[in-house]
Amino acid sequence: MDNIFNNIPINIPTLILLIIVFLSSQSGHYSTINFFLLWYIKFIKKYKLYPFIICNTFGVALTWYSAVFLDRTIPYRMMKKNNWSLFKFISGDIMLHIISLLMCKYMLRDYSSFYMEPKNYEIIKHCGFYSLFTNMLWSLLYQQGFELNQRYVPLPTWKWNTVWSINVLAHLLPMFYMNSTN
């Protein structure tokens, strides 16, 4: 008889991710999750976090750039609020969003052998939901809601609703793509 706990998705990597979400909620930076995991490739390989990282990185980057598209004053207001130079802002943006996406491309190269193992299918099947869950959990822990005016810059509610709608799609699209290639 199967152990009932075998089907519960809480395991060591999930617990570690939740701890990272909590710690990043204390610092206020959700990108801490991607930054930590992307630069520690051995951790990703050991705990088979390729699908999660791909969904999460794509979701964070697409959400950020969609917010900037909706309100082009966001970068300038963030620089002013945080007293950042243009160089510091652009360097951080490139490191947290663009380089992270490029590292995911590198991970996709290793991903094909990971994907061929049937035992990993359950991870791939739900990775977008795990990624979205961690992003929403971070928002609830850090901001106690989904309007991130304190962390970023104030936006009207309709813009936050639009950004979160894009966020949901951006976290789930890579999962649907990975599942469709099976």
Does residue 18 contact residue 137 with C-beta atoms inside 8 Å?
A: yes
Q: How does pLDDT run across 128-141, given as a tens digit for each residue? A: 898 898 889 888 88
* Interatomic CA distance for residues 147 and 164, integer angstroms: 9
Q: How does pLDDT run across 83-128, given as a tens digit for each residue? A: 989 998 898 888 788 888 887 777 766 666 555 565 566 667 788 8
* Interatomic CA distance for residues 31 and 127, integer angstroms: 17
* Interatomic CA distance for residues 84 and 81, integer angstroms: 8
The number of beta carbons lying within 10 Å of the beta carbon of residue 151 is 15
Whole-structure pTM value: 0.77
pLDDT of 23 over the 50 cut? yes
